[in-house]
Structure formats: structure tokens, C-alpha cells
Amino acid sequence: MDEVLFGVLAENVGRHLDGLDRRVAHSEELRRLVAAWRTLLDLHRPGGRRGRCTGCVESRQRAMCTVWRVANAFFTR
């Protein structure tokens, strides 16, 4: 995935999760869910020479991994 495009996606998802953090301050369960999403997305952040997902070691695809596709579908649309 293109670095600039990924940067925009990651920024939008991060902004959405930040908003959730502010709204769910009273709910420990929801705060843990937001933290889990942040951790999962961090594990699947593209890296290396080819910009592939570091969490999907077996992935040969050039597009974004499934984790980021789901995050895009739920948090940015």
C-alpha cells in the first residue's frame, strides 16, 4: 500500500479512535476495546522494504491487509 495513502487512512482511524476514547471514558469495557483495536492496528502496520503488513508475515498481497480493511470499513466510512 502506498505510504501516503496509508498515512491518511491511519490518521483517520486514529482520529476516530481518539473520539471514541473521549466518549467512552466512563466505560472500562469500551476503553479496553479501543485499546485492543489500537494494539491490533499497530501490530499490522506496514513496514519493511515492500511496505507489507508486519503482522501478516505470510501475506504476499500488495494491498492493505484484512485488519486494515476492516478498520477502514468500520471507522472511516
Is residue 1 over pLDDT 70? no
- The domain spans of the chain are 3-75
pTM of the prediction?
0.77
How many Cβ atoms sit within 10 Å of the Cβ of residue 3? 9
Interatomic CA distance for residues 60 and 54, integer angstroms: 11
Q: Find, among 42, 43, 39, 38, the residue nearest to 20 by Cα.
A: 38
What is the predicted pLDDT for the residue at 34? Answer: 92
**Residue range 18-59, pLDDT digits in tens:** 998 888 878 889 989 999 999 999 999 887 666 778 777 665
Confidence of residue 61 (pLDDT cuts 50, 70, 90): low
Interhelix angle 28-43/3-23, rounded to 10 degrees, is 170
Q: What is the structure's pLDDT at 36?
A: 95
